[in-house]
Structure 1
Amino acid sequence: MTSIITGDIINSRGQDANDWLTELKSQLALYGETPKQWEVYRGDSFQIELPLKDALKAAILIKASLKQFKTIDVRLAIGIGEKTYDADHITESNGSAFINSGECFEQLKKTNLAVKSGRTEFDIPINIMLELALITMNTWTPTTASLVKLALTKPEANQIELAELTQSTQGNISQGLKRAGYDEILKMIQYYTKNVQP
Structure 2
Amino acid sequence: MIAVLTGDLVHSSKLSEQQLNQAQQLLQQQINRHSQSGGRGELYRGDAFQLALPDARHAIKAALLAVCTLRANGVALTLSVGIGGGPVAKRSATAQQQAYVLSGRGLELTSRGELTVHSGNSAANHSLQLNTAFLSFLLQNLTRKQAEVLYDWVNHDFCEHHLVAERLQTSRQNVSLHLRKLGGHLVESYCQTFAQWLTDLPSAQNGEPSAQDGEPSAQDGEKK
Same fold by TM-score greater than 0.5: yes
Counterpart-to-counterpart distance in 2, 1:137 and 1:156? 16
In structure 1, runs of 5+ residues without a counterpart are: none
Could you tell me the percent identity over the aligned residues?
23
Deviating beyond 6 angstroms after TM superposition, the runs of 4 or more aligned structure 1 residues are none
Q: Distance in 1 between matches of 2:42 and 2:144?
A: 25
- For the 8 Å contact 2:2–2:87, the answer to whether it is kept is no
- CA drift of 1:134 comes to 2.2
Partner of 2:60: 56
User: Separation in 1 of the partners of 2:158 and 2:133?
Assistant: 27
* Higher RCO structure, 1 or 2 (CA under 8 Å, sep 6+): 2
Structure 1 counterpart of 2:96? 94
Pairwise CA distance, 1:111: 6.2
The code of the aligned residue for 1:8 comes to D
Structure 2 equivalent of residue 155 of structure 1: 157
| Aligned match of 2:82 | 79
Q: Is the 8 A contact 1:47 1:91 kept in 2?
A: no
Which residue of the other structure, out of 124, 127, 134, is the alignment partner of 1:125? Answer: 127
When the two chains are superposed, the root-mean-square deviation of aligned CA atoms in Å is 1.9
Asked whether 1:185 is paired with 2:158, we answer no
Partners of 1:83 and 1:98 within 8 A in 2:
no
Partner of 1:12: 12
**C-alpha distance in structure 1 between counterparts of 2:76 and 2:194, whole Å:** 22
SS of 1:58's equivalent in the other structure is helix
Aligned length: 194
* Superposition TM-score, scaled by structure 2 size: 0.80
1:38 alignment partner AA: G
Secondary structure, in 3 states, of the residue corresponding to 2:50? strand
Cα distance in structure 2, aligned partners of 1:125 and 1:111: 22
Number of the residue aligned with 1:30: 33
Give the residue type in structure 2 aligned to 1:9: L
Residue 40 of structure 1 aligns to which amino acid in structure 2? L
Counterpart Cα distance in 2 of 1:6 and 1:135? 19
- The answer as to whether partners of 2:35 and 2:41 remain within 8 angstroms in 1 is yes
CA, structure 1 residues 156+101, in 2 after alignment: closer, same or farther (shift >3 Å)?
closer
Instruction: Quote how far apart the aligned CAs of 1:120 are.
Output: 2.4
TM-fit CA distance, 1:118: 2.0
